[in-house]
Amino acid sequence: MESIQSFLAAVPWWGWVLFFLFILFLRDIIQRKHTITHNFPIVGHIRYMLEKIGPELRQYIVANNREELPFNRSQRTWVYASSKRQNNYTGFGSDQDQASPGFVFINPTMLPYKPAPNHPNVTQVDLIPCAKVMGLYNKRRRPFRPKSIVNISAMSFGSLSAKAIESLNKGAKKAGCYHNTGEGSLSYHHQHGADIVFQFGTGYFGVRTPEGNFDMDKMVKLVNDYKYIRAIEVKLSQGAKPGKGGVLPASKITKEISEIRHVPMGKDVISPSTHTAFSTIPELLDFIEDIANNTGLPVGFKSAVGKLDMWEQLTDLMVERNIGPDFISIDGGEGGTGAAPPAFANHVALPFVFGFAQIYQMFKRKNLTDRVVFIASGKLGFPSSALMAFSMGADLINIAREAMLSIGCIQALSCHTNTCPAGVATQNKWLQAGIDPTLKSERFYNYAKTLRKEILEITHACGYEHPCQLEMTDVDMSMGDNNYTTTLRQIYNYEKVPVDFISMQNLIECEHLGGREDKA
């Protein structure tokens, strides 16, 4: 034993390194799983190391400020700076290629809108309620005017961590935004004071029977128990993976998730690609009316856009029967999710501008635009993108990934691996422990406030009091090689229907603002 210890002590450190490399060399040439390391023992491992850290190298060293997707460095920097109340200005002029196809130009007027001394925006520089009221046309018992034109899109607890959801909800309360639960149901972490839009999908989580079907009694009880639920959204599809269901593996179902979603533990939960509560457009309309009549809340749906035949049927029936959704969320195909097959994420469903333009024109032709609140979603969490959506006919903006960036997301693109280094899109307790909801909620509040403030400033520069007043001719788009710009009116060949708007003060005094009548 002493001789062995003496021998081991006598071997220099570099001897152990050579021994390790020799063992690795033997292992590489014997194994058949990886051709590169078999053909190039030892050095082949360098290739796999570089491949593994390649995204980080490109993100922080190789890619320029305007190169990355889904959000480039300049966009992320603006969100980070805004959320931290740092200098989010740019110096020495624009660094963007303004001749590139699709570049957005907003047309200012010679004499901007000037608020009167007693105007509410003189002191509340980011106050912009929605110009329409959800559920007013259909005479729902509890109509709802969102206090903010910018709100948090559907992101479930389970997809996001508990602390991320808590941070967003607390920030939304302070910012006056509503918080969409996503299809994972209403969790404890959503219950920190913000207005809630309750969403459910094909799994009916939180409002399901043991067999996985929709349970109206549970829906009614949920709404009665939690008065801050202001509206209900039926998820038909989302831009990142329309027509695709999902599987919640048994290994991910904690006791908390089991109780929230009303699913058993120890068993995979399947979210089918289609609903069981309805299978036709007439049945969808009946389903919406049934929920609205039982709960008293505005009811709408979320959908990506592709084929238009069912949209035509929907609008025809809305005219014929004088019923229909109180709001519709149009989700662009560029929208994101925690995990989606690349073929779905890249190629299924139209991008927001194309999909929204077709749906809005259809509603306009049938004189239905005043009956519906149009919610726009799909990388619109920046002033120019949001204003383009408003000029096309959107009434609200839902933001998801931009909200994640504001609370610390670094676009590591690992949402689907449960290893999010920022603790935002993971259920790993250690990783999410780095999120301080008190701090991060303030970050989201700052971002939402800055976004609304800049939207309002540009709106005033265009000569308007509220973004709902923007028209299709207020936004131009670069045609690229043709060396000229074209208005959205010319590109999409329609005029937006004017929204019934009196004044910002009128919106603020509305009895339905933020569910005000429920708090009285």
Is residue 1 one of the residues assigned to a domain?
A: no
Lowest mean per-residue pLDDT among 69-78, 245-254, 325-334, 359-368: 245-254
**Confidence tier at 482 by pLDDT (50, 70, 90):** low
Q: How far apart are CA 123 and CA 388, in angstroms?
A: 26
What pLDDT, on the 0 to 100 scale, is given for residue 390? 98
Average pLDDT in the chain? 88
Opening angle at CA 305, ends 302 and 310, nearest 5: 90
**Confidence tier at 338 by pLDDT (50, 70, 90):** low
What pLDDT, on the 0 to 100 scale, is given for residue 254? 77
User: Which two structure tokens, joined as six digits, stand for 51?
Assistant: 């491949």
End-to-end CA distance of the chain: 84
Do 55 and 153 have their domain in common?
Answer: no
Structural domain range at position 126: 103-136+148-509
What pLDDT, on the 0 to 100 scale, is given for residue 324? 97
Among residues 162, 164, 317, 329, the alpha carbon closest in space to that of 231 is found at 329
What pLDDT, on the 0 to 100 scale, is given for residue 165? 95
Do 416 and 321 have their domain in common?
Answer: yes
Is residue 463 one of the residues assigned to a domain?
A: yes
What pLDDT, on the 0 to 100 scale, is given for residue 128? 97
What pLDDT, on the 0 to 100 scale, is given for residue 100? 80
Q: Is the pLDDT of residue 458 over 70?
A: yes
pLDDT digits (tens, 9 = 90+) for 310-323: 999 999 999 999 99
Do 43 and 127 have their domain in common?
Answer: no
Lowest mean per-residue pLDDT among 143-157, 439-453, 475-489: 475-489
**Confidence tier at 103 by pLDDT (50, 70, 90):** confident
Q: Which has more pLDDT, 96 or 25?
A: 25
Is residue 27 one of the residues assigned to a domain?
A: yes
Q: Is the pLDDT of residue 138 over 80?
A: yes
Helices (H), 305-433: 309-321, 342-347, 352-365, 383-392, 401-406, 429-432
Among residues 404, 233, 414, the alpha carbon closest in space to that of 329 is found at 233
Alpha carbons within 13 angstroms on the beta-carbon side of residue 428 total 16
CA dihedral (235, 360, 381, 244) in degrees, to 10, reads 30
Q: Is the pLDDT of residue 304 over 80?
A: yes
Q: Is the pLDDT of residue 328 over 80?
A: yes
Write the CA distances from 387 to 314, 348, 392, 393, 409, integer angstroms. 28, 25, 9, 10, 25
Do 31 and 127 have their domain in common?
Answer: no
What pLDDT, on the 0 to 100 scale, is given for residue 5? 67
Alpha-carbon dihedral sign for residues 510, 496, 182, 267? positive
Mean pLDDT of the region 204-222: 94
Lowest mean per-residue pLDDT among 173-182, 255-264, 433-442: 255-264
Q: Is the pLDDT of residue 65 over 90?
A: no
Is residue 471 one of the residues assigned to a domain?
A: yes
Three-state SS for 132-196 is CCECCCCCCCCCEECCCCEEECCCCECCECHHHHHHHHHHHHHHCCEEECCCCCCCHHHCCCCEE
User: Which two structure tokens, joined as six digits, stand for 475?
Assistant: 């936004």
What pLDDT, on the 0 to 100 scale, is given for residue 63? 66
Q: Which has more pLDDT, 471 or 157?
A: 471
User: Which two structure tokens, joined as six digits, stand for 102?
Assistant: 């699709």
Q: Is the pLDDT of residue 233 over 90?
A: yes
Q: Which has more pLDDT, 406 or 46?
A: 406
Do 200 and 348 have their domain in common?
Answer: yes
Q: How far apart are CA 320 and CA 310, in angstroms?
A: 15
Is residue 181 one of the residues assigned to a domain?
A: yes
**Confidence tier at 238 by pLDDT (50, 70, 90):** confident
Do 275 and 400 have their domain in common?
Answer: yes
Question: Total domain count for the chain?
Answer: 2
Cβ proximity of 220 and 236 under 8 Å = no
Is residue 380 one of the residues assigned to a domain?
A: yes
Lowest mean per-residue pLDDT among 4-13, 218-227, 375-384: 4-13
Cβ proximity of 196 and 226 under 8 Å = yes
Q: Is the pLDDT of residue 520 over 60?
A: no
Do 214 and 353 have their domain in common?
Answer: yes
Do 35 and 160 have their domain in common?
Answer: no
Do 51 and 107 have their domain in common?
Answer: no
The amino acid at residue 59 is: Q
Do 228 and 153 have their domain in common?
Answer: yes
Is residue 85 one of the residues assigned to a domain?
A: no
Alpha-carbon dihedral sign for residues 151, 154, 156, 159? negative
Opening angle at CA 344, ends 342 and 350, nearest 5: 125
Q: How far apart are CA 163 and CA 171, in angstroms?
A: 12
Q: Which has more pLDDT, 186 or 93?
A: 186
**Confidence tier at 483 by pLDDT (50, 70, 90):** low
Among residues 302, 328, 324, 298, the alpha carbon closest in space to that of 515 is found at 298
Q: DSSP character for 214?
A: B
Mean pLDDT of the region 302-331: 96
Q: Is the pLDDT of residue 15 over 80?
A: no
SS3 content of the chain, % helix, strand, coil (to 5): 45, 10, 45
Neighbours of 23 (CB within 10 A): 10
Among residues 448, 452, 453, the alpha carbon closest in space to that of 167 is found at 448
Cβ proximity of 107 and 459 under 8 Å = no
Tell me which residue has tokens 């590591």. Answer: 412
Residues 6+ apart with CB under 8 A from 432: 161, 162, 163, 164, 423, 424, 426
Check which CATH number belongs to the domain holding 214 and give it: 3.20.20.70
pLDDT digits (tens, 9 = 90+) for 285-296: 999 999 999 999
Q: Which has more pLDDT, 415 or 127?
A: 127
**The total number of residues written for the chain in this structure:** 520
Q: Which has more pLDDT, 374 or 62?
A: 374
Q: Is the pLDDT of residue 268 over 80?
A: no
Mean pLDDT of the region 412-421: 81
Q: DSSP character for 482?
A: G
What pLDDT, on the 0 to 100 scale, is given for residue 262? 84
Q: Is the pLDDT of residue 409 over 90?
A: no
Do 304 and 380 have their domain in common?
Answer: yes
Q: Which has more pLDDT, 241 or 268?
A: 268
Point out the domain boundary residue: 62, 79, 94: 62
Cβ proximity of 271 and 202 under 8 Å = yes
Do 31 and 124 have their domain in common?
Answer: no
Q: How far apart are CA 160 and CA 112, in angstroms?
A: 42
Point out the domain boundary residue: 62, 93, 116: 62
Cβ proximity of 238 and 337 under 8 Å = yes
Is residue 377 one of the residues assigned to a domain?
A: yes
What pLDDT, on the 0 to 100 scale, is given for residue 91? 77
